[in-house]
Amino acid sequence: MKHRALLIVAGLVGAGTLAVSLSVAAAGTSRPAAPAKAAAYPAPKVPNAAAIKAKYHGQKITFVGDSVGNGHVRDLALAKRFTKDTGIKVNVVPHPAASDQAYSDLVRNFSQKSSSIDVAMIDVVWPGAFAPYLVDLKPKLGKQSKIHAPGIVAADTVGGKLVAMPWFGDFGLLYYRTDLLTKYGYSKPPTSWSQLFAMAKKIQTGEQKSNPSFYGFVFQGNAYEGLTCNALEWIASAGGGHYIDNGKASINNSKAQTILDAMRAQIGKITPRGVTSYQEDQTEHAFDNGDAAFARNWPYQYGIGATAGSKVKGKFSVAPLPHGANGKSVATVGGWQLAVSKYSKHKDATIEFVRYMTSKPVEKFDAITNSNVPTIPSLAKDKQVYKTNPYLKPATASVARVARPSKFLKTHYNEASKAIFQGINQILNGTPAKSVLPALQSKLNTILKEK
Amino acid sequence: MSTAAEAGRARTRPTSRAYWLRRSPVGRFIKRLAFWVLIAAIFIYALFPFYWAVRSAFTPPSELFNTPIQYFPTHPTLANFRDALNTDFFRRALLNSTIVAGSVTLISLLIGSLAAYALGRFRFRGRSAVLYLMLSMTIFPQIAILGALYTMISNFHLYNTLGALILTYLIFTLPFTVWVLTTFMRGLPGDLEEAAYVDGATPIQVFYKVLLPLIAPGLVTTGLLAFIAAWNEYLYAVSFIQTPQNYTVPLAITSFVGKSGQAFQVPWGSIMAATVIVTLPLIAATLVLQRRILAGLTAGAVKG
Amino acid sequence: MSSVATPAPVSGRRRRRTKLQRRQSRLAWLLLLPALAVVAFVAIYPLGKTVYQSFTNQEFLAGITPTKWVGLENYRTLWHDTLFRNSVIETVKFTLITVSFEFVLGLVIALVVNSSFKGRGLMRAVMLVPWAIPTVVAAKMWQWMLDDVFGVVNDIGVRTGILSHPHAWISDPATALASVCAVDIWKTTPFVALLLLAGLQVIPRDLYEAADVDGAGPVQQFFRITLPLLRPAILVVLIFRTLDALRVFDVFYVFFGQRPDTQTMAIYNQSTIVGDGHVGYGAAISVAIFLIISLFVVIYVTFVRVTDE
């Protein structure tokens, strides 16, 4: 055959690629590289380690922690320290990156009454869903919970039981380009949404002349949990409620309609048309690439933009998100908690682990090495913490927090959130709010009635 | 000869231009040109996305999001490949997928060839029924039994194990294997076994000494198709596998997260590098074995 | 079909099964046992269980409420479920678009590649490549190519002047379905072309030569010789592609996730079971999907039989 030689070459190329790749991998390290900051700041030692060691030495617990990346690295470092000091072996399993997948995985684990997970990292909106399957931490950790932010502790308390300990927080921020504001004659960031729209439009018109991919405002508009968070900030800041208030769906009101329609009108005008597919990473890329004047994102974006080599280093800052007419600025609460499974075979050892992870020194470690928001208010004043997390300044840190309505939805939170983000995504993609909100309200009420 | 052609030409006026195109040197040249342009178009159409994946894989992450877009990486780097291969669960995924696809293929071939032996070389009541059952299984919608499968899998404590995938993948590999191998079995001469029976061979001996070697090409073909189908499966993998250690390749590719950030960054460079690592061997295998693959597909679809 | 080893019953002989036939029959069933067992266990039993579940209100996170029989209630809800109805419409639209494009394009490509030329084998191999790639991998590649800011499709479009500005192919509802169809068409057209090519190559050359002598033009030859003789291959390709398209999941999942206006039947089903935890209602959806697909099969079989005079 004439092209036999060609086929043999192709086969060799394929095999060669595989061989080269594997050797490249072998030459490299087998663990993701730890950030340089971690080396400078070590994992704190475990208080009361000797007593813990005496009682629980040798036990093995499984911890479902942060997804692969910096968070996983932090988990490994802390687990290693904990094992070294107490002799309790901690098996760290990263959870899937997608929040709803992590949720489904935990659902499956609990519905099988499996003892394979002892402690899991759970989203701030999940305690209501998983409460029947979690250990009450109040007897052993109630005292420690008092140093954490009371709002978060309240979110973690279901039916009088403290089902999870706050671990690190998150809240929505407005990122803005300080240099562009100055260039176009603005002295401070916008305080209302209409102001933001106007400023974004002016800056965008000017910048697009030299950079056609520049847009005024980017946020998370994809049909996923992040949109529930973003939209809550718009609606609550305009006086439109919190999707569900006092146990009943409240989304179908004129204030919510107005702000949602206002956002809809801006899609493709001061935002990229594709913003309805954006999640956190696209938002961060756009802003850190210099292609956006304003961005709504979580605090994690700050650290990335501030690293050496970033295009926007030194050119941006954060502010509270704008509010609607006659409203006040709010920020959606995010963040993660640690919860102990009631099917665990090593509850006491696990609780000691949780005690360590949610202690002040470890939260400080997390804040400095991973720029995670500590849930202990006193840490915000710590100089080292403040240095790596400048968004902890009072102006942004003290903004009123709003929570998603997981309290009322319990095990059906995922389903309700899906109805919410699907409805809002539909509005952003062009359907007027008054065609979507009534159906959304009745769907939410139906879900609320589900046992 | 020429009179017939001329007579033909005179008779059918409307095709004369086509005739001219076909015969005259200019017409021939245009035809050839158009032909090769079309071939080139098909070639580019099939392969451009790969070129783009390769180009993105070799572009440093900092330049991936530059505008204007570079069509050829100016600073090619192996960094993305290193990142992809350093990702623990990606390496494991290559291993896991090989285990799953390999096991499914072997089991399908073993069980399938036995069944094909029965269906292709024996005559018995119910044979057509079984054949139609196997055919209808090839159009079975996997999504329809997802919930029930999940319950079964957790009852057998197979959840989050490769065993769950090996078991459930048989749903789509086994019927197709049986169907194609039966066609091959039926294609063999009818009195093949008689000589062996006369020599005192048992049916099983006839099976692995006489028939199996003869349908060896069919085994290779269906084995390949089963392997590729199992390798590429996503729905069951995403529903039954939980921990990254047990991911298969499709799951791993969709689970890449950035290293320098938290769970929110999509590292297109590493994803494309992983894609290249995964697809190059597949492409090579396809190029080398394309005749086998085609034989199997057509045996199952066209002749069957 | 070739004959088999057992002696066939000759007409006129008594229809009593010989000892040999009975033994052959037993052996055949024994050989079939593993395959049938697997099929029964991983396909038939779950299907039956799904049907049963569709009549209950089973949930994943049921807590303490026991699962109970609810009869046709799930189906009543399903009938009024607009999300499900939209997903069926979306799936059918996707099926119609992709199958027609793939068929027409595939036929054209098959005709082009059918002539013998240097490198035909390589061409065939190259055409198989998109089919061999995992669908999610292909989806990821296209997602990157269709990116609204950094995508190469937009770049080429703007540079060549076809587009006035970059377009958000995936986000814009007007082009969302088109973008997902593009991936499927890219991936499957070559495969369709190869199957049709195999069918084309079975057609004897001398039929065309005779037609040439008779003065028939290429168009006439196509409709009079090629299409009728290609019919079996075309029918097989159509039914398999249609059924594959009706079950589509991977590409939509990668591109759109949970986006409401672009859900297919499979995505809606998976999201109801795995995301919401409604096992009973999800089972009803599964049964409905199964029935819809069976309906297409019945239509197809009837069509084949009717046009098979």
From the list C65, C118, C122, the residue facing A451 with the nearest CB is C65
Domains, chain A? 36-163+334-397 (3.40.190.10), 173-329+403-449 (3.40.190.10)
pLDDT at A255 over 90: yes
Judged by a CB distance cut-off of 8 A, whether residue B285 touches chain A is: yes
Is residue A170's pLDDT more than 50?
yes
**H or E element, residue C276:** none
Q: Which of B198, B135, B118, B113 is nearest to C4 (CA)?
A: B118
For an interface test with B, give the residue of A13, A20, A68 to mutate (most B CBs within 10 A). Answer: A68
Report chain A residues whose CB lies below 8 A from the CB of B243. Answer: 93
Q: Which of A179-193, C58-72, C150-164, C268-282 has the lowest mean pLDDT?
A: C58-72
User: Between chains, do C274 and A104 touch, taking CB under 8 Å as contact?
Assistant: yes
The secondary structure of A368-429 as a DSSP string is HHH-PEES-GGGGG-HHHHHH-GGGSHHHHTSEEE--SHHHHGGGHHHHHHHHHHHHHHHHT
d(CA A245, CA C22): 74
Question: For B10-21, what is the mean pLDDT?
Answer: 52
Work out the burial of residue A363: count CB atoms within 10 Å of its CB; fewer than 13 is exposed, 13-18 middle, 19 or more buried.
buried
Q: How far is B22 from chain A (nearest CA, A)?
A: 28
Partner A contacted by C212 (CB < 8 A): no
pLDDT more than 70, % of chain A: 90
Domains of chain B: 88-255 (1.10.3720.10)
Instruction: Give the residue-averaged pLDDT of B22-48.
Output: 82
Average predicted confidence (pLDDT) for chain C: 84
- Measured between CA atoms, how close is C127 to chain A, in angstroms? 14
Q: Is the dihedral of CA A399, A403, A404, A405 positive or negative?
A: negative
Q: What is the band of B216 on the pLDDT scale with cuts at 50, 70, 90?
A: confident
Using the 8-state DSSP alphabet, how is residue A125 labeled?
T
Locate the domains of chain C by residue range: 86-278
Asked if C286 and B145 come within 8 Å (Cβ–Cβ), the reply is yes
- Mean pLDDT for A399-423 is 88
Q: Does A402 or A263 have the greater pLDDT score?
A: A263
Superfamily covering domain C86-278: MetI-like (1.10.3720.10)
Confidence check: pLDDT of B222 > 80? yes
Chain A positions touching C165 (Cβ under 8 A) are 212
Stretch C212-225: mean pLDDT:
82
A93 touches chain B (CB under 8 A): yes
ipTM summary value: 0.77
Q: Which residue of A has its CA nearest to C148?
A: A274
Chains sharing 3 or more CB pairs under 8 A with chain C: A, B
The owner of tokens 């590409």 is: C251
Predicted confidence band of residue A394 (pLDDT cuts 50, 70, 90):
confident
| C-alpha B206, offset from chain centre | 31
Q: What are phi and psi of B101, to 5 degrees?
A: -65, -40
Residue type present at position C82: T
**CB of A19 closer than 8 Å to CB of A58:** no
For residues A87-92, average pLDDT: 91
d(CA A279, CA A223) in angstroms, rounded, equals: 9
Residues 6+ apart with CB under 8 A from A401: A151, A171, A330, A331, A332, A333
